């Protein structure tokens, strides 16, 4: 079998579960199989958000992030179910347990996808035979379908797994890049979101081939070092290793400040804490990370220093979310004595493009929690008119004062 493996390279699989939440529900209740199914926050609320849907529903045009109302309009017979997060976590744990039977080098990326380095697993068969075994075992033991990409690096493996869904297996070699990747629109490239695609489009880069041949100076000016990394990916280059410990790797971004004087006024201290949260958020944005753990540092007049942290349920990056966590920690642990130094830090970071690549368990739970807000907004509109509640209304240059001003993103 050694002949099927490179002498000086790696063989990496990217395993991507197909319509994971919906597939788990179908595995749990076989009567749902073959039917259009969507998982959403509130089946009875038109503002409920579709987090995933079966391929039967997709045939009608139903998509992730669509509202329940839109999904039902496209597919009146669609079945809408509330999410069962515990069930999905258990299925994810079982899925990764199976993957580790084929290699010790397994790196989870999210609840339903991960990389496997099978370079040293030649005794189990050829790369495509191993992929077929994994696919078959996941279906037989968990009744869950997946697509698998086979490639010499993580980027190409990820791109390959997206090429055939559901239940596809795709091999993507570096020599295939000009024919298979370069003709694709830039937005279809892993690691490039809508905003990045718009920025690149402004300098005439609209396809992956354009990025692969782009000028380094232009890219660095537009996107910094990230631009050069994306160009490498567009040319099929990716030196990242499959790291089983990456999910637990300690990373942090933060900001601290020695106060101009010892301060014991809570209002002033919270104002500084908010400023530090903003600086931390800006640094996260610059480095393109989300944080899953916020910590604060408090140093008192007598130089006694305490650090307290809070593990978050959902990855965050916005200032208001970081400040909310930092403020909660501060009010809980500040003893009321004068403070000399404050610090706010985001820890256990995850790359932003991975965190927002799909509306996964974490971001979905956050959206689902907004359902009561959407309900209240809808009731107010029905009672007082559709303009009674608006999102992020600016009062500048207007004599009209809305009855209610809200900004959903700040909640």
Residue 340 shares a structural domain with residue 390 = no
Which run of H or E residues covers position 147? strand 146-151
Q: Which CATH number do you get for residue 335?
A: 3.30.1490.100
pLDDT value at position 229?
95
Distance between CA 38 and CA 35 in Å, rounded? 10
Residue 204 shares a structural domain with residue 276 = no
236 Rama sector, left if φ>0, alpha if ψ -120 to 50, beta otherwise:
left
Q: Which residues are catalytic?
A: 113
Residue 323 shares a structural domain with residue 261 = yes
What one-character-per-residue DSSP string does 59-112 give? TTT--TT-BHHHHHHH-TT-EEE---HHHHHHHHHHHHHHHTTT-S-EEEEETT
Last residue of one domain, picked from the residues 40, 58, 86: 86
Going by DSSP bridges, is the β-strand pair 404-406/37-40 parallel, antiparallel, or unpaired? Answer: unpaired
Is residue 127 assigned to a domain?
no
Q: Which CATH number do you get for residue 191?
A: 1.10.150.20
Residue 225 shares a structural domain with residue 255 = no
Is residue 360 assigned to a domain?
no
pLDDT value at position 20?
95
How deeply is 267 buried, as exposed, middle or buried, from its count of CB atoms within 10 A (0-12, 13-18, 19+)? exposed
Domain count, the chain: 4
- What domain range includes position 379? 370-410
pTM over the 0.85 mark: no
For 311, phi then psi, to 5°, come to: -75, 130
Is residue 15 assigned to a domain?
no
Residue 224 shares a structural domain with residue 259 = no
**Closest to 81 measured CA to CA, from 57, 97, 99:** 57
For 111, phi then psi, to 5°, come to: -65, -25
Q: Which CATH number do you get for residue 64?
A: 3.40.1170.60
**Closest to 345 measured CA to CA, from 261, 263, 269, 281:** 281
**Closest to 50 measured CA to CA, from 76, 26, 69, 27:** 69
Distance between CA 141 and CA 95 in Å, rounded? 9
Averages of pLDDT over runs of 10 residues in the chain (411 residues) are 82 97 96 95 68 94 90 95 88 93 91 94 94 97 97 97 96 97 96 92 97 96 93 96 72 84 94 95 84 91 86 86 95 94 88 50 51 56 55 39 31 27
Is residue 147 assigned to a domain?
no
Tokens standing for 39?
A: 């998982």
Residue 258 shares a structural domain with residue 346 = yes
Is residue 229 assigned to a domain?
yes
112 is in an annotated binding site: yes
What one-character-per-residue DSSP string does 288-352 give? TEEEEEEEEEEEETT--EEEEEEEEEEEE-SHHHHHHHHHHHHHHH--SS-EEEEEEEEEEEEEH
Distance between CA 15 and CA 194 in Å, rounded? 24
Distance between CA 242 and CA 4 in Å, rounded? 20
pLDDT value at position 292?
87
Distance between CA 402 and CA 290 in Å, rounded? 34
pLDDT value at position 355?
53
Is residue 348 assigned to a domain?
yes
Distance between CA 155 and CA 158 in Å, rounded? 5
44 is in an annotated binding site: no
pLDDT value at position 380?
63
Distances in whole angstroms, Cα of residue 254 to Cα of each of 75, 97, 190, 378: 47, 35, 28, 39
């Amino acid at each position: 079998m050694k002949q099927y493996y490179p002498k000086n390279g790696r063989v990496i699989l990217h395993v991507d579960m197909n319509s994971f939440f919906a597939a788990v529900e179908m595995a749990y209740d076989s009567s749902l199989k073959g039917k259009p199914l969507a998982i959403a926050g509130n089946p009875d609320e038109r503002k409920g958000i579709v987090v995933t849907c079966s391929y039967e529903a997709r045939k009608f045009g139903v998509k992730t992030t669509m509202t329940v109302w839109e999904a039902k309009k496209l597919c009146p017979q669609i079945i809408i179910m509330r999410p069962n997060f515990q069930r999905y976590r258990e299925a994810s744990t079982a899925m990764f347990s199976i993957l580790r039977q084929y290699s010790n080098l397994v790196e989870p990326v999210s609840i339903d996808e991960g990389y496997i380095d099978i370079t040293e697993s030649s005794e189990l068969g050829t790369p495509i035979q191993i992929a077929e075994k994994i696919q078959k075992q996941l279906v037989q033991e968990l009744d869950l379908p997946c697509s698998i990409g086979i490639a010499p690096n993580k980027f190409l493996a990820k791109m390959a797994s997206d090429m055939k869904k559901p239940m596809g297996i795709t091999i993507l070699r570096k020599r295939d890049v000009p024919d298979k990747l370069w003709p694709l629109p830039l937005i279809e490239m892993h690691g490039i979101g809508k905003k990045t695609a718009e920025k690149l489009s402004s300098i005439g880069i609209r396809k992956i081939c354009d990025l692969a041949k782009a000028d380094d100076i232009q890219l660095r000016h537009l996107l910094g070092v990230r631009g050069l990394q994306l160009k490498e990916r567009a040319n099929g280059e990716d030196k990242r290793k499959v790291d089983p410990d990456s999910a637990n790797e300690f990373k942090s971004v933060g900001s601290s400040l020695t106060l101009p004087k010892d301060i014991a006024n809570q209002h002033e201290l919270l104002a500084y804490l908010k400023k530090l949260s903003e600086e931390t958020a800006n640094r996260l944005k610059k480095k393109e990370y989300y944080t899953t753990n916020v910590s604060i540092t408090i140093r008192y007049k007598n130089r006694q220093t305490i650090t307290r942290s809070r593990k978050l349920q959902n990855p965050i990056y916005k200032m208001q979310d970081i400040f909310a966590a930092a403020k909660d920690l501060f009010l809980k642990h500040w003893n009321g004595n004068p403070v000399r130094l404050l610090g706010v830090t985001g820890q256990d970071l995850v790359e932003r493009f991975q965190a927002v690549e799909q509306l996964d368990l974490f971001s979905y739970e956050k959206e689902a929690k907004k359902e009561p807000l959407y309900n209240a907004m809808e009731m107010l509109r029905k009672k007082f008119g559709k303009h009674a509640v608006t999102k992020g209304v600016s009062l500048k240059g207007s004599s009209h004062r809305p009855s209610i001003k809200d900004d959903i993103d700040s909640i």
